[in-house]
Amino acid sequence: MDAVNLRRHRAHKILRRAIVIIRHFILCLLALFFLLPILVLFTRSVMDPSEIYAVPTHLFPSRLNFSGYTQAFDAQILSYLLNTIIVVGVNTVFVPLTCLMCGYGFAKVRFPGRGLCFSLLLSTIMIPGIAMQIPLYIVYYHLGLTDSLWPLMITAFFGGGAMSIFFMRQYLKGIPDSILEAARVDGANAFVIMFRIMLPLARPVVVLTAVNVFIGQYNDYGTALIYIWNEKYYTLAVGLYYKYLAPGAESIDVNVQYAAGVLVMLPMVVIFALFQKQLINGIVTSGMKL
């Protein structure tokens, strides 16, 4: 009786292990699929330019050639990097802060017209970005902000857009009023409450906002394309566009293009891998409660 049970148990164990292996196999196949563009980017960055155009295509280089990296990593890319650090830094610090402020106002303070203001804010999600380009150009022009880094940073001081404020508000709504009450009884004013109580409690969604802002700003070449024409203000995204993709850029060796791509992508991958858990947590806790 016991022997039968034991055998059954063993068979069950083997079956379970087989299922785990099959699952890993499927997951690996899918991973291969998703990795394809990145694999191409990487392998071609270390290929001889002539081999990239070989027919039939070689996926893996027959000889490693790192000249792409040494050529891509020039003074220009350092200047682009510096601008990117300024733009991304300002946005990543100030968007979560102003966003926390507005989110707190909408979630926890009662005042006449709150609902209307929030609806107005949400309605901006529906405005097609492209519809704003020329009119926004005129606004920036009159504010004297064109051809500087300002068009890439100024919105950071105004809440950073409806979506991030929306997520912040949803999260803050879940914080019990009793905590705020207690703080008020102790004599804390709204700003003390915001920084000393809300900020630590809202950490997951603050991190979510910061990471989202980082990724969005880092990748944004469209804004810079419209408002900046002086090369000293190029960020990595737009610099990469002008240097390697815009008409007339074909003269550069292709492996340099790919190497530059790898260099530009690297910080994003690091950030994402580091904050993956917080990102999911942030989404879980703020919820998509429309």
Partner 1 sequence: MQPSLKKKGLFKSGAWIGYVLIAPCMIGILIFNFIPMGISLFYSFSTYDIIHPPRNFGVHNYTNVFTNVILRDKFFKSILHTGEYLLFSIAIGLFLSFLLALFLNQKLKGMAAYRVVYYLPNLLPPVCSAIVWADITDPLYGLGNAVLQWFGLPNYSFYADPSTAMPTFLIMSLWGLGSGLMLWIAQFQNIPDALYEAAELEGANAFVKCVKITVPMSTPTIFYTLINSIIAGLQVFGPYLITGAGPDDSLLFFVTNIYINHRQFNMGLACALSWMLFVAIALLTLLLFRKSKWVFYGEDM
Q: Would you say 6 or 27 has its CB closer to partner 1?
A: 27
Of the candidates 196, 241, 207, which has an alpha carbon nearest to the alpha carbon of residue 222?
Answer: 241
Q: Are 126 and 64 in contact (CB under 8 A)?
A: no
Contact 156, 94 (CB under 8 A): yes
Min CB(7)–partner 1 separation in Å = 26
Q: Do residues 243 and 252 make contact, with C-beta atoms less than 8 angstroms apart?
A: yes
Work out the burial of residue 239: count CB atoms within 10 Å of its CB; fewer than 13 is exposed, 13-18 middle, 19 or more buried: buried
> Which C-beta is closer to partner 1: that of 11 or that of 274?
274
- Minimal distance in Å, beta carbon 14 to partner 1? 17
Residue placing its CB nearer to partner 1 in the complex, 41 or 86: 41
CA angle 79, 82, 86 (to 5 degrees): 145
Nearer to partner 1 among residue 3 and residue 22 (C-beta): 22
Q: For residue 69, what are the contacts with CB-CB under 8 A and spacing of at least 6?
A: 45, 259, 262, 263
Backbone angles phi, psi at 38, to 5 degrees: -70, -40
Task: Encode burial over 244-279: b for 16+ CB neighbours within 10 A, e otherwise.
Answer: beeeeeeebbbbbbbbbbbbbeebeeebeeebeebb
Q: Residue 149: how many CA atoms within 13 Å on its side-chain side?
A: 21
Angle at 226 between CA 223 and CA 227, to 5 degrees: 85
Distance CA 245, CA 247 (A): 6
Q: Which is nearer to partner 1, 4 or 119 (CB)?
A: 119
Query: Which residue shows structure tokens 């006449």?
Result: 112
CB of 89 to partner 1, least distance (A): 18
Cβ proximity to partner 1, 14 vs 120, nearer residue:
120
Q: Which is nearer to partner 1, 4 or 55 (CB)?
A: 55
Q: Minimum Å distance from CB 69 to partner 1?
A: 15
CB closer to partner 1 out of 6 and 50? 50
Minimum CB separation of residue 230 from partner 1 in Å reads: 19
Smallest gap from Cβ 133 to partner 1, in A, equals 7
| Residues contacting 271, CB < 8 A, separation 6+ | 211, 214, 215
Least Å from the CB of residue 157 to partner 1: 7
What does the alpha-carbon distance between residue 254 and residue 160 come to, in Å, rounded to a whole number? Answer: 37
- Closest approach, Cβ 210 to partner 1, in A, equals 16
